[in-house]
Amino acid sequence: MSAAGADTAPVLRVAIARKVYGAGGPEPVEAVRELSFQVTAGEIVCLIGPSGAGKTTTLRILLGLDRDFEGRIAPEPGGEGARLGMVFQEPRLLPWRSIEQNVRLALPRERRGRDLDDLFESLGLAPWRGRYPGALSLGMQRRVSLARALADEPRLLVLDEPFVSLDDAAAAGLRGLVTGAVERFGTSVLMVTHNVAEAIEIADRLLLLSARPARLIGEERLAVPRARRDRAFVEATRAALAARYPGVVAG
């Protein structure tokens, strides 16, 4: 299924000692404290925590969008070696460029002309390549955002609440596309969510975060293959987690 158990070199190593907003100001807010984890090759890791726990802050740090923190991230955030594809919570497409251009413009200049037929085909976007994002539903726009993230064959795919405000069918469809991409390209996934059931369906490993300041309070490995995770399994796992981490997982 995946290389979760294999002891390969991690594609991401995170060790954030501290992240404080408004440090030195009248009301400093500590967003993250002592948060360390790794993501290994081909693994799907879900970061779960209550809203406002500092999950998005953590993502911004590893994307290199926020450099004001204490700690170490490898590879260097925002650097050449990061090989990271990002799916933001909002699709963040350029509404004035076509779907195809949106995907290509995110590629470095020398690879912008590459063949993307397979990618568009596998995400069901082939008929839409020439359209503007405004013509697409939110679910389809998220697919474009996923295509953009996968176009440069990243080693790590980072997803920020990618299934929020989608109906069940659209969410399930997109989830299938993410796991499909992992299996096809061997990409690792780091996904942030507050939806525990969704995380249980998709993840190899769950990382549970406390309320602010975000700290790692638990780690759960899900050994059952994804294909065999039915509704009953998801419910049972959720109940077990709720019993063990009452602050993070609602009962």
Positions touching another protein (CB under 8 A) are 60, 63-65, 78, 84, 86, 88, 90, 92, 94-97, 101, 105-106, 108-109, 132, 134, 148
Radius of gyration of the chain (CA): 18
Q: Which is nearer to another protein, 11 or 86 (CB)?
A: 86
Q: Which is nearer to another protein, 54 or 77 (CB)?
A: 77
Alpha-carbon distance of 83 to 152, in angstroms, equals: 8
Smallest distance, another protein to C-beta of residue 89, A:
9
Smallest distance, another protein to C-beta of residue 24, A:
19
Q: Which is nearer to another protein, 97 or 212 (CB)?
A: 97
Q: Which is nearer to another protein, 147 or 208 (CB)?
A: 147
Smallest distance, another protein to C-beta of residue 90, A:
6
Smallest distance, another protein to C-beta of residue 120, A:
18
Q: Which is nearer to another protein, 97 or 229 (CB)?
A: 97
Q: Which is nearer to another protein, 70 or 90 (CB)?
A: 90
The distance in angstroms from the start CA to the end CA of the chain is 30
Smallest distance, another protein to C-beta of residue 26, A:
21
Q: Residue 19: helix, strand or coil by DSSP? A: strand
Strand residues in 104-224 grouped as ranges (E): 156-160, 188-193, 205-209, 216-221
> Where is 48: in which H helix or E strand?
strand 44-48
Identify the bridge partners of residue 36 per DSSP, sorted by sequence position.
Answer: 15
**What's the gap between Cα 18 and its chain centre?**
22
Encoded tokens for 43: 């693994």
Alpha-carbon distance of 128 to 14, in angstroms, equals: 37
Q: Which is nearer to another protein, 61 or 241 (CB)?
A: 61
Smallest distance, another protein to C-beta of residue 4, A:
26
Smallest distance, another protein to C-beta of residue 241, A:
31
> Where is 178: in which H helix or E strand?
helix 168-185
Q: Residue 144: helix, strand or coil by DSSP? A: helix
Alpha-carbon distance of 99 to 129, in angstroms, equals: 5
Asked if 20 and 28 touch (Cβ cutoff 8 Å), the reply is yes
